[in-house]
Amino acid sequence: MSFVEELRWRGMLHDMMPGTEELLAKEVVKGYIGFDPTADSLGVGNMVQVMTLLHFQRAGHKPIALVGGATGMVGDPSGKSAERNLLDTDTLQKNLAAQRKQLEKFLDFDCGETSAEIVNNYDWFKDFGFLDFIRDAGKYISVNYMLAKDSVKNRLENGMSFTEFSYQLIQGYDFYHLWKENGVKLQMGGSDQWGNIVTGNELIRRKGEGEAFALTTQLIKKADGTKFGKSEGGNIWLDPKKTSPYKFYQFWLNASDEDAANYIKIFTLKTKPEIDDLIAEHAQTPHLRLLQKALGEDITTRVHSAKALERAQLMSSILFGSSMEDFKQLTADEIIDAFDENDIFEIEKAKLMEADMPTLMAEYSTIFTSKGEAKKGLQANSVSINKEKVTLDKKAQEDELLFGNLLLVQKGKKNYYLFKSI
């Protein structure tokens, strides 16, 4: 199956320049995607582009990941309502190194002609003077052409700095440079990047008198209209220090049936027959959440490891199980990592031991909005400490503390909190 056919059946393809499919059919093509270096980790939102490069390589082409050391200092206006903060060089280098390490988990950098490469546009921009740039690049692209781009038009009413206005020209020069110096003929990206990408094609045509091609992928949206890649706790990162493997696994496990049916095509390498069988099996027994489990297992293993998946599944079964004995199989860090920051309450050990339940639940935490609400919850038998139902007059005991300083609280069936004594 060709690269374009692969993207098409997986629901990833959005648009491509005429001639792109024909080019890919006749030769090994070098193609690149740019990655934003404003964080020290890629997030699941970046995974569409990572998978695009992976499919590109598997189809027999050479993938190049461009990390934007230079463009990260400017800021892409696409899809933004305000100009973002610019990063200093040290922060950028730290972010670039972290992202490079993550990209190396997915792409093969040692397979001959189609070996993946990572390039940094700071390498060709660092000694490029402003006057040289506006002479060598700026004169080939008209202001009228740049003003016609949606990313510019959407911002003109509220104002846009020259820095951001120039972004498409800088990204366009990246494509020109890689075309001229590296033989790159294709740039890919999300559908919101089309305007920036074709500026590069235009620069190659006008300045280089050459030809290049473009392809974009669909922007991923959740079925309920909310933004993909975020949870209640914020972004879902690939770095286990920023998003624990347990939370990462739970993110996929909590996907709706409709979303899971899309995600399993986009974020796994499962074949069409495998996915069709899974979707059919899931439809027969939706309560088993077979799609979500297959999705979570596949991507957690590839992003983290089989061992990390095993621990995440263990944490999940223990947290949602009924026995506290099983908690002894976990470490204190694994338990803490399973909770969002807002659901962990640090408290002096003396206060933890002395407080009655309504005080603990409403004054020393936000589990309930008031002591009155806490009393109602306790009287309704909806609160557990370490899996045991508790009453109004209950107080925490020393021997109930997990690892000597943790107390697990459950409100209702699904709401978990953690007290941590300090």
Residue linked to tokens 């005991």: 397
For residue 345, the cross-strand partners are 419
Residue 386: partners with Cβ closer than 8 Å, 6 or more residues away: 324, 400, 402, 407, 408
For residue 411, the cross-strand partners are 383, 415
What Cα–Cα distance (Å) separates residue 201 from each residue in 43, 105, 206, 290, 300? 28, 30, 9, 44, 37
> What proportion of the chain, given as a percentage, has pLDDT over 70?
94
**Which among 231, 261, 210 has a CA at the least distance from the CA of 343?**
231
Q: Alpha-carbon distance 226 to 231, whole Å? A: 10
Q: Alpha-carbon distance 304 to 137, whole Å? A: 42
Q: Alpha-carbon distance 148 to 199, whole Å? A: 11
Q: Alpha-carbon distance 236 to 244, whole Å? A: 9
**Which among 295, 284, 298, 312 has a CA at the least distance from the CA of 256?**
295
Of the pLDDT bands very low, low, confident and very high (cuts 50, 70, 90), residue 388 is confident
Q: What is the mean pLDDT of residues 256-264?
A: 96
> Are 387 and 400 spatial neighbours (Cβ–Cβ below 8 Å)?
no
Give the chain's domains with CATH numbers.
Answer: 3-217 (3.40.50.620), 230-336 (1.10.240.10), 341-421 (3.10.290.10)
Q: pLDDT tens digits for 64-91?
A: 999 887 876 665 555 544 444 566 778 8
Two tokens, residue 154: 């959407």
Q: Alpha-carbon distance 96 to 40, whole Å? A: 7
Two tokens, residue 129: 């003077």
Q: pLDDT tens digits for 97-155?
A: 898 899 999 999 999 999 999 999 989 988 888 898 888 888 888 787 777 777 777 76
- Residue 85 is predicted with a pLDDT of 55
Residue linked to tokens 């709706």: 256
- Residue 336 is predicted with a pLDDT of 87
Report helix, strand or coil for 151: helix
- Residue 86 is predicted with a pLDDT of 62
Measured from the Cβ of residue 210, the count of other Cβ atoms closer than 10 Å reads 14
Q: pLDDT tens digits for 180-199?
A: 999 999 999 999 889 889 99
Q: Alpha-carbon distance 98 to 244, whole Å? A: 16
Lowest mean pLDDT among 23-27, 299-303, 371-375: 371-375
- Residue 81 is predicted with a pLDDT of 45
Please give the sequence-ordered ranges of beta strands (E in DSSP) within 83-160, or none if there are none: 117-120
Question: How many angstroms from the chain centroid is the CA of residue 13?
Answer: 19
**Which among 356, 362, 339, 358 has a CA at the least distance from the CA of 408?**
339
Measured from the Cβ of residue 290, the count of other Cβ atoms closer than 10 Å reads 17
